[in-house]
């Protein structure tokens, strides 16, 4: 079984600054996908960024980037130039390559961006 752990229940950051959200996972799989999802107050889950385990290069999407450390089973999300609209719950998620996209979610981190 896989587990995903987000050790920071809540975080805050000043607008325009950078914040890093932590995520660790435990699996015996070698090929898998990792995700960060954003859930704003509207509750709609939005994919922020995706990483394929066999790719060593860290994924980036505009202001969002990850630090993927496969050996350490760590997958942190860095948000640069934080904006007020980034305020949301952030969930780290994992799926093995052969699991048909069945996601296991971490407990979430509530991020507040302050003006």
Instruction: Report the interface residues with another protein, using CB under 8 A.
Output: 33, 35, 37, 42-47, 50, 52, 91, 95, 97-98, 100-108, 110
Q: Which is nearer to another protein, 63 or 97 (CB)?
A: 97
Q: Which is nearer to another protein, 75 or 108 (CB)?
A: 108
Taking the complex as a whole, the smallest distance from the CB of residue 59 to another protein amounts, in Å, to 12
**Measured from the CB of residue 16, what is the shortest distance to another protein in angstroms?**
27
Give the shortest CB-44-to-another protein separation in angstroms.
Answer: 5
- Taking the least distance from each CB to another protein, the nearer of 44 and 62 is 44
- How far is residue 72 CA from its own chain's centroid? 15
Q: Which of 33, 109, 20 has the alpha carbon at shortest distance from 67?
A: 20
DSSP letters spanning 46-98: EEEEEEETT--SPPEETTEEEEEETTTTEEEEEE-S--GGG-EEEEEEEEETT
Q: Which is nearer to another protein, 101 or 115 (CB)?
A: 101
């Amino acid at each position: 079984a896989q587990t995903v752990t987000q050790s920071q229940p809540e975080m805050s950051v000043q607008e325009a600054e950078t914040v890093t959200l932590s995520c660790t996972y435990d699996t015996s799989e070698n090929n898998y996908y990792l995700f960060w999802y954003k859930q704003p107050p509207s509750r709609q889950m939005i994919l922020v960024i995706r990483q394929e385990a066999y790719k060593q290069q860290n994924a980036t999407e505009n202001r969002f980037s990850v630090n993927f450390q496969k050996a350490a089973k760590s997958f942190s999300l860095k948000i640069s130039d934080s904006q007020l609209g980034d305020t949301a719950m952030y969930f780290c998620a994992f799926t093995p390559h052969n699991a048909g996209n069945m996601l296991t979610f971490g407990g979430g981190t509530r991020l507040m961006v302050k003006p």
